[in-house]
Amino acid sequence: MSAVHSPTAETDEHRTEGPGLGTSLGIAVRLFVGWCCVLIGVFDLIAELDWRPGAVNGPYLIFHALLLVGGGLLLGLGWLAPRPGTGGYLAGGATFALGMLISAAPATTTVCCLPAYAGRHGFPFVFAAHNTSGRWHVDAPHLLADLMFWGCAGLIVLVLIARLRGHPESDEKTVGPLP
């Protein structure tokens, strides 16, 4: 044992621990998805501006505008540091789940995407359809797009509740910021 202190030895007072692998991975995924949503939203909104007047597709515009806002919120979650609490998580999850269920329940008159089927379901994109013989078809890419849409809507509700709720000091130990 040496009484001489080595300058390379770590001590408890000089050691700084990072957020950990799980938290870092969560942040990386959140930022990646956020950037993808922002880029897709911006590029597709710009492409939609190229359409002739009167030919604008409303659900398409709504989808990409919400994707742009949701992506921006994902990028800014670290800065916003929301603490939505249980109520915020429940409201965001309910928005997601009920949005998917309620938008898929009524048949839509959209002529796009599955014209061979009489009954089409989903918003903003038709992802499920059936014909008169009762045969059903699910379009996986449109289902994924609708899941993203309602996920962004749920995220907006979650962040709004967190911002309205503020940052109570007593709740710091139980509910931390989103990764």
**Cα–Cα distance between 147 and 125 in angstroms, integer?**
10
Q: How far is CA 75 from CA 63, 70, 130, in A?
A: 18, 9, 38
* Residue 95, in any domain of the structure: yes
* Residue 97, in any domain of the structure: yes
* Residue 54, in any domain of the structure: yes
**Cα–Cα distance between 155 and 147 in angstroms, integer?**
12
pLDDT digit of tens for each residue in the chain (179 aa)? 445 555 555 555 555 677 788 888 988 999 999 999 999 999 888 887 766 666 667 777 888 899 999 999 999 887 776 678 888 899 999 999 998 888 877 666 655 555 555 555 666 666 666 566 666 667 777 788 888 889 999 999 999 988 887 765 444 444 455 55
* Residue 139, in any domain of the structure: yes
* Residue 130, in any domain of the structure: yes
**Cα–Cα distance between 136 and 115 in angstroms, integer?**
13
* Pair 159, 140: CB distance under 8 Å: no
* Residue 105, in any domain of the structure: yes
Domain count, the chain: 1
Range of the domain at 131: 21-167
